[in-house]
Amino acid sequence: MILGIDVGGTHTDAVLIDHLRVLKKAKALTNPENLLSSLLEVTTELVDEATIDQLERVVLSTTISTNAIVQHKVDPVGIMAVSGPGLPPALLQIDSNTHILSGYLNHRGIEIATIDQEEASRIASRFRSEGIRNVGIIGKFSTRNPKQELELREIVRKLDHDPLQHVSLGHRMSGRLNFPRRIATAYLNEAIFRPYQRFVTQVLRFVHTRKITIPIYILKADGGTFDIAQSVEYPVQTILSGPAASIMGILATTGCGSDAIALDIGGTTTDIALFAAGVPLFEAFGVTIEGHRTLIRGLRTKSIGVGGDSVVRVREGRIFIGPEREGVAAACGGPFPTPTDAMIVLGMTVIGDAEKAAASLTPIAAALNCPVVEAARAIFDETCRKIAGHVRAVLDETNNRPVYTIHEMLEGKKLNPRTLYVVGGPAGPLAPELGRLLDCEAHIPIHAEVANAIGAALARTTAEMTLLADTERRTLTIAEEGFQTPIPPDFTMEDAIRIGREKLREKVLGMGAVEVEPEIEVVEAQEFNMVRDYHTSGKNIRVKVQVKPGCIADLRRGDVLCR
C-alpha cells in the first residue's frame, strides 16, 4: 500500500492506494501553525494499525515552499559571490544583501586569485549585525573546484557560532555551469530554509505519532521523490513540488495523448502546465519562479497568486484578486471576501455559510455600485479571465522557444492545445468557463480533488549527476555530491559513463528508489582535447546522467492510470 499526502496552502489531501487503485481519499483544512493536526486529521479515516503495517511507501508533496516565494514570505539571505572577471556585478545582484568578493578560479578550477580573508570577515560580520542568519556562498567555477566556497564557509562559521545560522554552497546546488542561476538557486535554498525545516519537523512528528517506521519521501520539482530527511538541506528542490504533483496526478488519472493544458486551482495559487502529445514539458535549464531563474530541474509549470481563497479587493472601481491569501473564505470563517465566496453566492458550490459569503461581498458590491449577485459574477468572471490570461502568456512564451519534454527536445514544435484538464477544489465551477475562454474542451479527471496526492504517491525517485574528468590534472569531480577522486591519464569517456551510472544508481537507491535497477540515461557526453605547447596534454570529459521523471509502474486503465 502507498499513502500519498499533498499539503497545500488551504487543504491537505490524502489517498490510500493499493495495487495502483485508490482505496480511500480524504481532505482536511491545512493549519499552518499546527500542521501535525492537519496530517493526523486527514489520515484518520485512511490508516489504522493494520493498514500501517501494510504500508510500503509514504510520499508527500507540498506548496509550502512555492507559496512562501510567491507571497514573498521568505527570510533575508546574505549572498557572498566570488565571480572574478567577466560578468558585471549588476547581473548577479539579488538584492542589497548581495556582495561580490575578490578571488577567482578559472574554468578548470585552478585558483588564480585567493580569497581576501579580511574582506570576507567584514561582510560576514555585517550579516551577523543585521540579524541575517541565512547565507549563500557561490563561486563562478566552484563546480570545478569547491575550495574557495569551503574557505568562505569556515570564515562565516568562525564569526558566528549561532546554531540557527545556515549556509548553502553553490557547488552543492547543481553540477551545471551558469553562475547567475546558481546564485539564484542558493539564494532560494536559504530563503525558504526555515519554513521548510518547520514543515519537515512537523511531518516527522506525524510519522512518530502514527508509528510509521518506513522511510518518508517528498516530491521534487521534477516530479520525482527523495527521502524527506535528506531534503532538509536542499529545500529548493521542493519548489514547485505541489505543481509537479498535479502534473503527475493528471498523468496517472487520464489517457492524455494530445497537446493539453493542465490547471491545478488551489486556495492560494493556480498552477499552469502544458503537455505536448500527452507528455509534460520540462525545464531543460532550470525552473523559474517569481523572476528567479534557477538550476533546479523541473517540470515546466507556472504558479500564479490566484486561488479560491485569494483576497478580493476593489480599487478605483476595478476588482483585484490576490496574490495574497489571508485565511479561508469568509463563508468558512475567514476575514476577507474571496472567489470561493463569490461562487457560493452564485450557487456554484455548497460549502460554508452562504450568509457569511454574501455579507463579505456587500462592501465589494457597494464599491462597484451593483447588487451582491452582480458583484459575485464580476469576481467569478475576473478570476477566470485572470487565469486564462496567464495561460495564454505561458503558451505564447512556450511557442517562442524550443519545446522540451521529459523525454526529448521537440524541434520546431508548436503547441496547439484543444484539451483542458482542471484539478483542485474549485475545478467544478471554474472548468467550464475556463474551457470557453481558452477554446478547449474542459475535463475534470477522476479523483480531481486529490490529484496531487495521487501524483505524489505514484512518482518514482529521480536524480541527476554531472561528472567532470580532467585527465591532465588527473581528477574526477562530481560537484553536487562533494566527490573528487584521482583518475589515471588514460581515463576515457566510457569510464566516466560507467562511473556515472554506478554512482547515480547508488544515489537513487539511497534516496529510496523502488526499482532495484533504476532507468538511467546519459543526457550529455562531451570530450575536449586540452592543448599545451602545441601538444595534446589531456582531455576534459563531461558526462551528465539522470533518472527521468515518471510513475513507479505502467498499467492499463483502472481507477488510476499511470503512463
Report how many domains make up the chain: 4
Instruction: For residues 275 and 418, state if they share a domain.
Output: yes
Q: Which residue has the higher pLDDT, 351 or 49?
A: 351
Instruction: For residues 219 and 291, state if they share a domain.
Output: no
pLDDT of 560 over the 60 cut: no
Q: Given pLDDT bands bounded at 50, 70 and 90, which one contains residue 163?
A: low
Q: What's the pLDDT at 295?
A: 93
> Region 4-12: what's the mean pLDDT?
88
- Strands across the sheet containing 134-139: 98-101, 78-82, 134-139, 166-169
pLDDT over 90, % of the chain: 53
Instruction: For residues 285 and 392, state if they share a domain.
Output: yes
> Region 442-459: what's the mean pLDDT?
90
Q: Which residues pair with 81 in a beta bridge?
A: 100, 138
Q: What's the pLDDT at 413?
A: 81
3-state secondary structure of 364: helix
Q: Establish if 232 belongs to a structural domain.
A: yes
Helix, strand, coil % (nearest 5) of the chain?
A: 35, 25, 35
Q: Establish if 411 belongs to a structural domain.
A: yes
> Region 345-361: what's the mean pLDDT?
95
CA pair distance 345, 355, nearest whole angstrom = 8
Q: What is the largest CA-CA distance in the chain?
A: 84
> Region 272-287: what's the mean pLDDT?
87
pLDDT of 409 over the 70 cut: no
Question: What are φ and ψ of residue 171, in 5° steps?
Answer: -70, -15
Q: Given pLDDT bands bounded at 50, 70 and 90, which one contains residue 497?
A: very high
Q: Given pLDDT bands bounded at 50, 70 and 90, which one contains residue 563?
A: very low
Instruction: For residues 240 and 264, state if they share a domain.
Output: no
Q: Establish if 561 belongs to a structural domain.
A: no
Closest residue by Cα to residue 544 from 526, 530, 519: 526
pLDDT of 558 over the 70 cut: no
pLDDT of 406 over the 70 cut: no
Q: Given pLDDT bands bounded at 50, 70 and 90, which one contains residue 353?
A: very high
- Considering 163, 184, 205, which residue would you say is the last residue of a domain? 184
pLDDT of 512 over the 80 cut: no
Instruction: For residues 385 and 423, state if they share a domain.
Output: yes
pLDDT 10s digits, 143-156: 888 999 999 999 99
Residues 6+ apart with CB under 8 A from 406: 223, 279, 280, 282, 299, 548, 549, 550
- Which amino acid is located at 461 in the chain? T
pLDDT 10s digits, 185-200: 999 999 999 999 999 9
pLDDT 10s digits, 464-482: 888 999 998 899 999 888 8
pLDDT 10s digits, 111-120: 999 999 999 9
- Looking at the chain, the number of H-run helices and the number of E-run strands are 16, 31
pTM of the model: 0.81
CA pair distance 461, 547, nearest whole angstrom = 8
Residues 6+ apart with CB under 8 A from 72: 290
Residue 431 sits in a domain of what CATH number?
Answer: 3.30.420.40
Instruction: For residues 240 and 270, state if they share a domain.
Output: no
- Considering 164, 184, 204, which residue would you say is the last residue of a domain? 184
Residues spanned by the domain of 144 = 78-184
Q: What's the pLDDT at 117?
A: 94
Lowest mean pLDDT among 363-372, 381-390, 529-538: 529-538
Q: Establish if 552 belongs to a structural domain.
A: no
Instruction: For residues 470 and 505, state if they share a domain.
Output: yes
Q: What's the pLDDT at 261?
A: 95
Instruction: For residues 133 and 84, state if they share a domain.
Output: yes
Q: Establish if 556 belongs to a structural domain.
A: no
Instruction: For residues 196 and 180, state if they share a domain.
Output: no
CA pair distance 549, 536, nearest whole angstrom = 40
Q: Given pLDDT bands bounded at 50, 70 and 90, which one contains residue 91?
A: confident
Instruction: For residues 434 and 314, state if they share a domain.
Output: yes
Work out the mean pLDDT of the chain and round it to a whole number: 88
pLDDT of 557 over the 50 cut: no
Q: Establish if 553 belongs to a structural domain.
A: no
Lowest mean pLDDT among 2-16, 273-287, 304-318, 507-521: 507-521
Q: Establish if 97 belongs to a structural domain.
A: yes
pLDDT 10s digits, 227-265: 898 899 999 999 989 889 988 888 888 877 889 999 999
Q: Establish if 157 belongs to a structural domain.
A: yes
- Considering 457, 479, 504, which residue would you say is the last residue of a domain? 457
Instruction: For residues 291 and 149, state if they share a domain.
Output: no
Lowest mean pLDDT among 52-56, 362-366, 395-399, 405-409: 405-409
Q: What's the pLDDT at 554?
A: 46
Please answer whether residues 57 and 114 qualify as being in contact, where contact means their C-beta atoms are separated by less than 8 angstroms: no
Strand-pair category, 441-443 with 463-470: unpaired
> Region 354-376: what's the mean pLDDT?
96
Instruction: For residues 363 and 434, state if they share a domain.
Output: yes
Closest residue by Cα to residue 234 from 161, 136, 156: 136
Lowest mean pLDDT among 87-96, 160-169, 343-352, 514-523: 514-523
CA neighbours closer than 13 Å in the CB half-sphere of residue 164? 8
Q: What's the pLDDT at 407?
A: 61
Q: Decide: residue 230, CB within 10 A, 0-12 exposed, 13-18 middle, 19+ buried.
A: middle
> Region 342-370: what's the mean pLDDT?
95
> Region 100-117: what's the mean pLDDT?
91
CA pair distance 250, 280, nearest whole angstrom = 10
